[in-house]
Structure 1
Amino acid sequence: MERNGTEVRMGDDSVVTGTEETSEEPYSLDEIDGLFHEFLLAVARPKRREGYRDLTKRLRSHLRTAPGDQPVVKAAYPPYELPNVHLALERWFAVEGRTHELIGMTGSESRGDLTLGEILESANLYDRFVVGAVDYAHLPVSPDDELACVSFGFYLGQEGEERFALLLRGPADEYGRNKVELEVLAADKEFAHRLLADIDALMLEHNIYRGQILSFDGSEFDNGLGPFRFHRRPALTREEIVLPSGLLERVERQVVGVARRRERLRAAGQHLRRGLLLYGPPGTGKTHTVRYLLSHLPEFTVVVLSGTSMGAIGPACRLARMLQPALVVLEDVDLVAEARDHDGGAQPLLFQVLNEMDGLGDDADVAFLLTTNRADLLEPALVQRPGRVDLAVEIPLPDADGRARLLGLYGADLDLGKDITEEIVTRTEGVTASFTKELIRRAVLISAEREADHTETADLRTAVDELLSDRDRLTRRLLGVKHPDDNQDDEDWLIEEDDE
């Protein structure tokens, strides 16, 4: 375009040159509109320079054929499997004779739910996507470790004469896609199927969840990169478990004993699937007993469900079947496994729990460990039918000997004498293990408040007086202890406490 001796060239390498004039006429609206239109075209569709990151050209160069001419084979996995898929690919490519180059992709528009074929078509026809940086997600793979996992990237791979491209794409909430996807582009469709089968085998063999203690985070199960929270395995000794004589041995035989003698049981035609119910008042040590069992099952994969996460019973049992030997812990199972007629209707989640427990084969080395404060509310079919729950064990309130042992356990650093121990045992009949633990903590706090070097018997007496007083009535209830006069139902008691 020329005007008043000035040449204007719009484009990739545009320059503006011209000659000065003493007077210039203003541009017309049509001329301004034309110049602006050329400017927008130059910005929106710049000319390709040498070395332009052409995704289609890059794939064509690697595959030595047009990407659109080759079939695509797909596989999908749950969102929490991204670390396993990533590691399986690394192990697959680490085999001698296999190579790969990892590239990413950027574009002016969202990748959304486009398939690999649609991405290639858009890259070829509309310049929407170009070669860019690989996307990574940093995910936990143990209680202490994280792993940088490819969440969107192309593996341009080669095995012998076989050339292929593989797209790994992790879950992305903003697109409504809650899964991990692999798409293999290869001339030989059977090769693509074999590659994906190899990935599945490697995922199972080297699964990061094997031997871990995991809990489902119910609030995030339907979102994000995974529903799991990793936990360190406890290290509890028998001396730290205070139960009536012979009770812990029964519990160990049902869970740990079967695990240690699985081969002999199988040889004798006996099933390994088992269920154990621990019931009793709150604060008596049911969860503590579970932690002890986990300490002595180091090779077991453990999945813990409680509260809202009970809805994940299906995925939890699938994981247990895949990674056996395994233990599925259902804490406070009465929240979902109440008797069918308790509220006048069926419990859909209860049916799912029962079905999952029944769905395991007799040779499955999977144990179910259930805890409840209200055994009377449990569905009879859950606690009576063999194969669901084979053993129900009450964890009772500690007797006098148990309370003395608990004082010695929690107050080991206080050097409690025989007299004060007997006095506290006598005064605390009917209390829970949680009460004893809080008693010791409060005595230590009282001594700290008076700047004492050590806790004295007077501090213990003060702590007992406080916890047994009417002012701490609610505290006792929260610790699982009933006052001798607490005969009315819970609702009336709460109203009375509130009035006080």
Structure 2
Amino acid sequence: MGTGEYAAYEPARTPLPADGRPLSMDEVSDLFHEFLAAVARPKRTDREGRDLTERLRAHLGSAPRDQPVIKAAYPSYDLPNVHLALERWFAAEGRAYELIGMTGAEHRGDFTLGEILESADRYDRFVLGAVDYAHLPVSPDEELACVSVGFYLGQEGEERFAVLLRGPADEYGRNKVEIEVLAREKEFADRLLAEIDTLMREHNIFRGQILSFEGSEFGEGLGPFRFHRRPALTRDEIVLPSGLLERVERQVVGVARRRERLRAAGQHLRRGLLLYGPPGTGKTHTIRYLLSHLSEFTVVVLAGTSIGAIGPACALARMLQPALVILEDCDLIAEARDYGGGEQPLLFQVLNEMDGLGDDADVAFLLTTNRADLLEPALVQRPGRVDLAVEIPLPDAEGRARLLHLYGSSLGLGKEITDEVVARTEGTTASFTKELVRRAVLISAEREADRTDAEDLRTAADELLSDRDHLTRRLLGVRPSGQDADGEEGADEEEDVEWLSAEGE
């Protein structure tokens, strides 16, 4: 406690008996009450100009504790939307505001506005301070300083009111965004909050974007989010068996393009697609291609254990439809239990949320897995959630030749070396071919050659197919001879969502 922070202690106002008689119980009680008040609310010398209650009283024209408080809560990821909606609301003609901050031992905690006002008035626990901001992404290339704790002292015509905006603070037990409106009339506060909701829907920063979410570190729900640039892939960059890509496109892109015709015929728009197959065969590359052709779709990506936040993700998709929900590596949660400690696997929770959207929701679910055998029992028990399952197989000879020319388009590979490498790489993946070409270019660079030739490609193939690179092949999705896909225990195709900004697989 620094010198001068508190004024000298004032003697108790209850006088002690002059005749030396013992204190009565009432007198003891009065003295003890004054002692507690002095401890709980020491007189501050630096309080002048920082009294939160007096500042609100001066703005509102009456005691803030005498006015009703109306509250609205939003998901933690919506802080940028709430912040921008408030700015747009106040920007309308006839409205103005002053933004002030507050500070205190628990100003980021779970106190309600009413409790804050009482604590500020009785105990000096909250005083005027700096506005708190959080820098959050609002696009792949832009961040915005959003108010995370601040009072908007607003005015609309003759109406004076205050709005407290507080963002999430998981470490303090706050996993949501809250607005609390202090106004003379409840009807005014209700109207303000309704208009904020409308502005959030109309100008939602997530609409048409690709987002990935992490699970919350401190509890249930969606945690930090990240924007991703939309890929730009052409059909020539997708190497799959004949007819397979067309089936996938019809299920996802075709329904989107013909939604009005389907609705008019009473057909459902909600659909589910499962892409399965060994790691490295092209599942995520296929997803990137689909995203290139769904520019109007909002895309929500959950991977691995963050799939447990499927409920909030579906709510976001429902609000911003048309939307695509991508669930990567679903096999990781096929046998995991829900966060509530119950007996239901997370996969069943995913299927329940899919069903809860309703048939008319223009939302597509795209699931990927390396282990279809783990998902099949749950999918069979809940028919209709996934309408189409497509295997992305290992590339055949024609596919491996196309992959060589795709990844080595600048190398000018001849037919002889292409046929030789294709014959030697049976059972390998697209990821293997991509690494093979990269390593060949590296070998030519190490010998300072002007171009990569056939011998460089042979050397790269020798290295990758050698016994010492056995683990490397596994990491590139190549299975040991004789092992089927369901027995694969190698690394997953992707462990996170970095693939969204990658150029190939």
Give, in angstroms, the shift of residue 338 of structure 1: 5.7
Q: If the length of structure 1 is used for normalisation, what is the TM-score?
A: 0.84
- Give the one of 246, 262, 267 matched to 1:249: 246
Measured in 1, the distance between the counterparts of 2:171 and 2:426 equals 57
- Give the one of 125, 128, 135 matched to 1:128: 125
Give, in angstroms, the shift of residue 181 of structure 1: 1.2
Give, in angstroms, the shift of residue 47 of structure 1: 5.0
Measured in 1, the distance between the counterparts of 2:366 and 2:487 equals 28
| 1:112-261 correspondence to structure 2 within 5 Å | 112-218=109-215, 220=217, 222=219, 226-261=223-258
| 1:88-99 correspondence to structure 2 within 5 Å | 88-99=85-96
Give, in angstroms, the shift of residue 201 of structure 1: 1.5
User: Between Structure 1 and Structure 2, how many residues are aligned?
Assistant: 452
- Give the one of 353, 359, 366 matched to 1:362: 359
| Equivalent residues of 1:220, 1:227 under 8 A apart | no
| Equivalent residues of 2:305, 2:333 under 8 A apart | no
**Match of 1:423?**
420
Measured in 1, the distance between the counterparts of 2:107 and 2:360 equals 48
Q: Deviations for 1:316-347, whole angstroms, at most 9, x for unmatched residues?
A: 1111111111111111212223699xxxx965
Measured in 2, the distance between the counterparts of 1:481 and 1:411 equals 20
Measured in 1, the distance between the counterparts of 2:348 and 2:480 equals 37
**Match of 1:45?**
43
Q: Deviations for 1:234-263, whole angstroms, at most 9, x for unmatched residues?
A: 111111100111111111011001111111
- Relative distance call for 1:292 and 1:491 in structure 2 (3 A) is closer
**Match of 1:498?**
none
Measured in 2, the distance between the counterparts of 1:455 and 1:159 equals 71
Give, in angstroms, the shift of residue 79 of structure 1: 1.4
SS at match of 2:324: strand
Measured in 2, the distance between the counterparts of 1:451 and 1:187 equals 79
- Relative distance call for 1:91 and 1:226 in structure 2 (3 A) is farther
**Match of 1:302?**
299
SS at match of 2:128: strand
**Match of 2:283?**
286
Q: If the length of structure 2 is used for normalisation, what is the TM-score?
A: 0.83
Measured in 1, the distance between the counterparts of 2:489 and 2:438 equals 31
**Match of 1:21?**
none
Q: Which moved more, 1:161-170 or 1:116-125?
A: 116-125
- Relative distance call for 1:243 and 1:383 in structure 2 (3 A) is farther
Give, in angstroms, the shift of residue 444 of structure 1: 1.1
Q: Deviations for 1:382-411, whole angstroms, at most 9, x for unmatched residues?
A: 268653111111111112211111011000
- Flag the structure with larger Rg: 1
What stretches of structure 2 of length at least 5 have no aligned partner?
1-5, 9-37, 491-505
Measured in 1, the distance between the counterparts of 2:277 and 2:44 equals 74
Measured in 2, the distance between the counterparts of 1:330 and 1:487 equals 24
Give, in angstroms, the shift of residue 215 of structure 1: 1.5
Measured in 1, the distance between the counterparts of 2:99 and 2:156 equals 15
Is 1:388 the counterpart of 2:385? The answer is: yes
Measured in 1, the distance between the counterparts of 2:485 and 2:121 equals 77
| Equivalent residues of 1:339, 1:378 under 8 A apart | no
Letter of the structure 2 residue corresponding to residue 129 of structure 1: F
Letter of the structure 1 residue corresponding to residue 154 of structure 2: G
**Match of 1:30?**
none
- Give the one of 402, 405, 413 matched to 2:402: 405
**Match of 1:350?**
347
Q: Equivalent pairs: percent with the same residue?
A: 82
Measured in 1, the distance between the counterparts of 2:404 and 2:186 equals 69
Measured in 2, the distance between the counterparts of 1:178 and 1:272 equals 33
Letter of the structure 2 residue corresponding to residue 142 of structure 1: S
- Relative distance call for 1:391 and 1:322 in structure 2 (3 A) is same
What stretches of structure 1 of length at least 5 have no aligned partner?
1-10, 14-39, 494-500
Give, in angstroms, the shift of residue 186 of structure 1: 0.6
Give, in angstroms, the shift of residue 52 of structure 1: 2.2
Measured in 2, the distance between the counterparts of 1:445 and 1:94 equals 57
Give, in angstroms, the shift of residue 226 of structure 1: 4.1
Letter of the structure 1 residue corresponding to residue 81 of structure 2: N
Give, in angstroms, the shift of residue 222 of structure 1: 3.4
Measured in 1, the distance between the counterparts of 2:486 and 2:392 equals 23
Measured in 1, the distance between the counterparts of 2:44 and 2:484 equals 83
- Relative distance call for 1:111 and 1:239 in structure 2 (3 A) is closer
Measured in 2, the distance between the counterparts of 1:125 and 1:248 equals 68
Measured in 1, the distance between the counterparts of 2:420 and 2:149 equals 67
SS at match of 2:139: coil
- Relative distance call for 1:127 and 1:378 in structure 2 (3 A) is closer
| Equivalent residues of 1:219, 1:308 under 8 A apart | no
Measured in 2, the distance between the counterparts of 1:294 and 1:398 equals 22
Measured in 2, the distance between the counterparts of 1:447 and 1:164 equals 71
**Match of 1:36?**
none
SS at match of 2:268: coil
- Give the one of 436, 439, 446 matched to 1:439: 436
| Equivalent residues of 2:427, 2:478 under 8 A apart | yes
Give, in angstroms, the shift of residue 221 of structure 1: 6.8
